[in-house]
Amino acid sequence: AQTVTQSQPEMSVQEAETVTLSCTYDTSENNYYLFWYKQPPSRQMILVIRQEAYKQQNATENRFSVNFQKAAKSFSLKISDSQLGDTAMYFCAFMIDSGNTGKLIFGQGTTLQVKP
Amino acid sequence: SAVISQKPSRDICQRGTSLTIQCQVDSQVTMMFWYRQQPGQSLTLIATANQGSEATYESGFVIDKFPISRPNLTFSTLTVSNMSPEDSSIYLCSAAQGWSTDTQYFGPGTRLTVL
């Protein structure tokens, strides 16, 4: 069975600084997808970034980038130049490429607070 | 990306009653899903809503408790039946436009409190 672990329940960062959120996963599959979603206090889940396991290049989206280490089964999210609007709960999620299920498996989440 | 809305946004219900949650997508999508997020916890997939056929339920979730409909490619409902306080959660709908491995976009959720 696949599992996703986020070991940091809460983190804080000063505005304009950089923060890294950790995520590890366990799977015997070779083809899969990894995601980071953001859930602000308003509750709407928003996709931050997506990584295909077959791609060696780390995905980036503006101030957000990932460090994907397939052998170590690690998928951390780096937020650069943190902004107050980045305050939210961040979920790491995993999806296998087989079975046509579309099932997302989520980690427990990390609450990030950006301080002015 | 798809824009997803849910109704109601929140509700407070009495034990033993049922609530139907609606999920509307602004474009046709291949796949729709229902997740539960218990207070302070992560999201768990309840079921995949299949258009024109019965939903596919995850382990621990059954059709009698969580009947799901999906009459077309833009709409789905989830009913929480015979509710108990343990059903108090946020229920989220998501959708993927193409393949099952396409990115899922989420609705704003329905916060349910059962007294």
Which residues from chain A sit within 8 angstroms of residue B41, using beta carbons? 108-109
In the numeric block, the tokens 């049922």 are attached to B18
Which residues from chain A sit within 8 angstroms of residue B35, using beta carbons? 104
Q: What span, in angstroms and rounded, lies between the C-alpha atoms of B104 and A46?
A: 10
Nearest Cα residue in chain A from B107: A44
Cβ–Cβ of A91/B31 closer than 8 Å? no
Which residues from chain B sit within 8 angstroms of residue A48, using beta carbons? none
Q: What span, in angstroms and rounded, lies between the C-alpha atoms of A104 and B7?
A: 23
Q: What is the mean pLDDT of chain A?
A: 93
Tens of pLDDT, residues B17-67: 999 999 999 999 988 999 999 988 899 999 999 888 889 999 999 999 999
Beta strand residue intervals within chain A, DSSP E = 3-5, 10-14, 19-21, 24-26, 32-39, 46-52, 60-61, 64-69, 74-79, 88-96, 105-106, 110-115
